[in-house]
Amino acid sequence: MARELTMPKLSDSMADAVITRWLKGPGEAFARGDALIEVETDKATVVYEAEWEGTLGAILVPEGGTAGVGEAIATVSNGDGEATPPRVVIPEAAPAVASDDGGGLPDRAPPGSRANASPVARRVAVELGVSLHGIAGTGPGGRVTVEDVRAAADSGAPALERQDAAGKGEVTARALTPTETTIARRMTESATTTPVLTAAADVDVSLIATLRRGAREAGEVTPSLNDFVVKAAALALREQPRLNSSYADGRIETYSRVNVGIAVATEDDTLLVPVVHDADRKTLAELAADTRRLANAARRRTLTPEQLHHATFTVSNLGMFGVRSFTAIVDPPQAAILAVGGVRREAFEDGPDRVGFRDVITMTLTCDHRVVYGAHAARFLSRLRELLERPLALTL
Amino acid sequence: MSNVSETPATGVLEDLGLYTGIYRQMLLIRGFEDLVQSLFLAGEVYGTTHLYSGQEAIATGVASLLEDRDRVAATYRGHGHALAVGVDPQALLDEMLGRGTGINGGRAGSMNVNSPRDRLIGSFGIVGGSIAAATGAALALRKTTGGVAVAYFGDGAMNQGYVFECLNFCQVLGLPLVLVCENNGYGEYTAFRSVTAGELTDRAKVMGVPTETIDGMSVWTVRDAARRAIDHARSGKGPAFLEALTYRFVGHSRSDPGAYRPDGELDSWRERDPITVLAAQLAAAGVDEARLEETRREVADELEHMRAQGLAAPWPTALAAHEFKD
Amino acid sequence: MTTTFRTAIRDALDEALADDERVILFGEDVAVAGGVFATTTGLYDKYGPERVFDTPISELALTGAAFGSAVTGLRPVIEIMFGDFLTLAMDSLVNQSTKYWFLTQEEQSVPLTIRSVVGAGGRFGAIHSQMPVSWFMGVPGIKIVCPSTPADAKGLLKASIRDDNPVLFFEHKRLYTLEGDVNGATAELGKARVAREGGDVTIVTAMKGVHDSLEAADALERDGISAEVIDLRTLRPLDADTVVASVQKTNRIAVVEEGPQTGGWAGEVLATVTEQALGHLDDAWRIATPDTPIPYSPPLEDAFLPGPDRIATEIRQRLRRT
């Protein structure tokens, strides 16, 4: 019996995805758990593992091809060698498994920020694999029309094109990868739809430096400064759930789990945010092991969808690049993001006529002001500083 | 009321067989209405229903003179009109009960009964609507069968635009319409006199339409006058107007106890019950009381059988209606 | 053969009277005078007073007579001089004529045709200019025919008289002098016509709106917008298939209705398209008249109506090509 392998839903907001690599070839047998395809979703490149066993028949969507969720991407035979011929599958309306936007039509936007697009534009966007976000609508009220979608699909062709831009020399242009498209879309959406508030605080991390030095000298696995920050943030989030929330359609949703995303630059120069789930309940050592594993997987782009989902807060650290402080952009629908700068040595008045030195970092909290107000941000930063300046509690 | 004599009309019952048949028909109508009332109280007849009890002499008297080529348009107090022109009583009862075996398959109910094959164009739920429908039928019958159209309506309809427009329309076009106004003294809950100016017949007279006001409780009288009206219409001279004075022995509709009626009024009209009046005439003409009693028993048995049959009849299946005729 | 809309109506009546002995024609001023709008000229002389006759100014009696005669063997065609007077005909039409087929368990239909002159632009004021279509859109059992050309006037009127159901046949008073070819005019009720093909936007309309929309489409073409114009011809039952097929092509629909926007038939068209083709829509809107009575003064009445300029302007704006 031949059956079909369909595009799995690999992220909560995924409507379709690009198959970047087939890890099995036609005629090759696979067992449950074998890696089948590498898929670039709107969030990450992930490997999809077989959920059942069989023999791969015809590949219906080749490498580089896009398929909607639920669409057939290959035939699978169970040994009789029979397989249906390749065909192009264009869904008539919505994919069989669609996001829960009511109409079964694609909506890649998180709750509360549905794209302003006409019904036909939504449908064709799915067919063409185009994200509605980032398209400037020419319809009434800025509504994205089907023509806009087609134009976006045409201009977003993956081929490199060179053009002469007078005065700027030769320009090399390439289309964004799906991950880049997602980042562009989400950042634009955040910057244009989220009213933000930023608050910064300096934290004395001298004691943490001392602790880390001691651990290193003892030959133990040493948690990074960032691990301390993540752990402290997780405890502060547990105490102050206002920051562990989302603004959604006139409501504030507060989450019971504290899942902290950690921004990681990948080897191919993009950005991924793996998640330490239940960071508030993990010991510092567990957390440190987690972040190391996640960062490695992110750099190699082998994160599973599970490792990318459900962050309720994000920590971004550019300290290793010598940055003193920076502001980050809130990743919707999260309510806040913490930007951590590098450690600097700072002189201070340590008693009358006495100068001391300490290790200081600047932490900058950027918040969605619809959820987190100035006093909330201040309280959170204050608590964070308390925890980081008396780090023993974090290690227990 | 004028034209209602203290004693029953005593014209010669020219055909005892015919009048015995009419007597049976009046008993059937009265019994049918009593049955509908009891089934309404039992929750088997729905919505509302308007009973003809007391007015039987009019429908039966007029119908006894109609030919196959004639047509009748009834009011929403139309069970008597329907039975008098020959609508199957069981089918009519089943319609009241909302059953699939109803004369209109349960689509119509009490107020909207029609049966073209029995010459009944329909019963019209808008006061005066029967006059308009019969006007059109008169227009067609003059051209086709040479028949006449009869419109039944109540005193309440006399204040509707339909009466004035249709009387004039039929008179100028010479259409064979017989207008039978059943004046039962009340337009719904309101005494007709308190809302009606002048004499009803004057409204027809002013257009040159021949009129008569008659005792609507005597079927002999009704037949006598209706014959003249029908002859007039059939002869191509245009419409004729009859005002038949009558009384309904029940309220306007099933939700109306008739409390607005003065004490004693119902009783005095009951003494002139058209069934009693005809029975007395038949007895005076020599019809054996035992025979009348037998007729009464037969009708009662028939109604009892109808009741059981109707309650056992199947409900309509899903409504499979087509909006248009192809 | 080229003829006027007015003559096309007259010819259709003439042919219908000649074809079927059961057809009769009556109304106010239709016989001896030949009709207030000269649409029945010569028919009285030709068919005589038994088949073509004048009536009193009695819309209740007239419409009641149409119903009664239709269920008693004739196929009456009546004229309600102005559509505004249909308010007086409502009982016979709505409570009697459209119910009868249903109540007789589909044994007896009501083959009557009501012709009526409708529409604004003639300076007739608030109560001789209305478009009564929407008063009847919610009445099951009635067909509403709204021709825009002499050919359709003739073909659809004959089809209406042949139809076994109650038909309201509306004649727009501003179309009577329109000339057109009526050769081989055969028409079927309930079928729309693509009056002009286009790819960017579908304009759905009827009667005079067809001509206004075609004029707007010409203007839009000069701006590079290709408009498809659909002449519904029958508003009830509505030919949804033709409209949906067009919207699937153009993704945009503007419904041009001469009539108040609230509760109008244009809303029914949009609702139907939304139900059947939501996934094909980029834009959908109505171009109708304001929710006020029709003014008398020429500049006021002209501004009130959705003419070619307004249709073209709205489409340009909605397509962002101003």
- Are A145 and C283 a contacting pair at CB < 8 A? yes
Asked if A105's CB is within 8 angstroms of C283's CB, the reply is no
Contact C279 A119 (CB under 8 A): yes
Residue type present at position C302: D
Torsion angle, CA of B279/B281/B284/B288, rounded to 10 degrees?
-30
Question: Taking the model in full, what pTM does it have?
Answer: 0.67
B290 burial (CB, 10 Å; 0-12 / 13-18 / 19+) is exposed
* Closest chain C residue by Cα to residue A148: C282
List strand residue ranges (DSSP E) for C146-264, in order.
167-172, 179-181, 193-196, 201-205, 227-231, 234-236, 252-260
Bond into C237 cis (ω within 30) = yes
Closest partner CB to B322 (pick from C104, C106, C108): C106
pLDDT at A139: 85
Q: Do chains C and B touch, with touching meaning 3 or more CB–CB pairs less than 8 Å apart?
A: yes
CA dist A222 and A238 (Å) reads: 24
Is the pair B, A in contact (3+ CB pairs within 8 Å)? Answer: no
CB contact under 8 A, B136 and C107: no
Residue A388 pLDDT? 94
- Identify residues of C whose CB sits under 8 angstroms from chain A CBs: 251, 278-283, 317-318, 320
Residues of chain C with C-beta less than 8 angstroms from the C-beta of B172: 56
Instruction: Summarize pLDDT for A333-372 with one digit per residue, the tens.
Output: 899 999 999 999 999 888 888 898 999 999 999 999 999 9
Question: Which of C279, C317, C318 lies at the smallest CB-CB distance from A123?
Answer: C279
Is the pLDDT assigned to residue A111 strictly greater than 60? no
What is the pairing mode between strands C227-231 and C201-205?
parallel
Q: Is the pLDDT of residue A265 over 50?
A: yes
Q: Does A135 touch chain C (CB under 8 A)?
A: no
- Is it the case that residue A108 has pLDDT exceeding 60? no
Closest listed residue to residue A97, CA positions, set A3, A185, A13, A4: A13
Q: Measuring CA to CA, how many Å separate C307 from each of A47, C210, C260?
A: 60, 10, 14
Digit-by-digit pLDDT tens for chain C (322 residues) are 799 999 999 999 999 999 999 999 999 999 999 999 999 999 999 999 999 999 999 999 999 999 999 999 999 999 999 999 999 999 999 999 999 999 999 999 999 999 999 999 999 999 999 999 999 999 999 999 999 999 999 999 999 999 999 999 999 999 999 999 998 777 899 999 999 999 999 999 999 999 999 999 999 999 999 999 999 999 999 999 999 999 999 999 999 999 999 999 999 999 999 999 998 999 999 999 999 999 999 999 999 999 999 999 999 999 876 5
Beta strands in chain C (DSSP E): 2-4, 23-27, 52-54, 75-82, 113-118, 143-145, 167-172, 179-181, 193-196, 201-205, 227-231, 234-236, 252-260, 283-289
Which of C128, C172, C211, C280 does the annotation list as catalytic?
C128
Cβ of A145 within 8 Å of Cβ of C282? The answer is yes
Tell whether C62 is within 8 A of chain B (Cβ): yes
User: Nearest CA of chain C to the CA of A188: how many Å?
Assistant: 24
Instruction: Inform me whether the pLDDT recorded for A52 exceeds 80.
Output: no
pLDDT score at A21: 83
3-state secondary structure of A68: strand
User: Mean of the pLDDT values across residues A196-203?
Assistant: 94
State yes or no: is C128 an active-site residue.
yes
What number is the average pLDDT over the span B259-273? 89
Residues in chain C with CB shorter than 8 Å from the CB of B163 are none
The alpha-carbon gap from B137 to the nearest alpha carbon of chain C, in Å, equals 4
**Min Cα–Cα distance to chain C from B95, Å:** 11
Choose the most confident range, by mean pLDDT, from A84-88, A145-149, B51-55, C277-281. Answer: B51-55
Residue B139 with chain C: CB contacts under 8 Å: 24, 65, 68-69, 72, 74, 76
The reply to whether residue C141 touches residue B324, judged by beta carbons under 8 angstroms, is yes
- Say how far apart CA B179 and CA B156 lie, in whole Å: 14
Residue A128 has pLDDT above 50, yes or no: yes
How far away is chain C from the Cα of A325, in angstroms, using its nearest Cα?
Answer: 45
Give the separation between CA C39 and CA B282, rounded to whole angstroms. Answer: 62
Q: Note the pLDDT of residue C260.
A: 96
Q: Which residue has the tokens 């009709």?
A: C35
Q: With contacts defined as CB-CB under 8 Å, which chain B residues touch C60?
A: 132, 161-162, 165-166
| Cβ neighbours of A121 in C, within 8 Å | 282
CA dist A148 to A67, A186, B115, B182, Å? 21, 19, 63, 73
- Phi/psi at C305 (nearest 5 deg)? -85, 145
Alpha-carbon distance values, C316 to B271, C208, C228 (Å):
82, 21, 14
DSSP conformation class of A65: -
pLDDT of A270 strictly over 90: no
**Res. B1: pLDDT tops 50:** no
Chain B residues with beta carbon closer than 8 angstroms to that of C106: 321-322, 325
Contacts of A140 in chain C (CB under 8 A): 283, 317-318, 320
Q: Which residues of B touch C52 (CB under 8 A)?
A: none
pLDDT bracket for residue A13 (50, 70, 90): low
How many Å apart are CA A72 and CA A78, to the nearest integer?
16
Put simply, the answer to whether C100 touches B161 (Cβ < 8 Å) is: no
B194-228 pLDDT per residue, tens = 999 999 999 999 999 999 999 999 999 999 999 99
Selected residues 4-43 of chain A with any CB under 8 Å from a CB in chain C: none
| pLDDT for B80 beyond 50 | yes
Lowest mean pLDDT among A53-67, A77-91, A116-130, A259-273: A77-91
A319, two tokens = 């300290």
Residue A39 backbone phi and psi in degrees, to 5: -125, 135
Which among A93, A122, A140 has CB closest to C318? A140
* Chains touching C (3+ CB pairs < 8 Å): A, B
C214 Cα to chain A: minimum distance (Å):
23
Q: Does A119 touch chain C (CB under 8 A)?
A: yes
**A201, C204, C208 from C302: Cα distances, Å:** 69, 21, 13
What interface predicted TM-score (ipTM) does this complex get? 0.90
Q: Is residue A102 over pLDDT 80? A: no
pLDDT band at A253 (very low <50, low <70, confident <90, very high): very high
Q: How high is the mean pLDDT of chain B?
A: 93
Structure tokens at B59: 């429908």
Average pLDDT over residues A13-22: 80
How far does chain C reach from its first CA to its final CA, in angstroms?
41
Contact: C251, A140; criterion CB under 8 Å: no
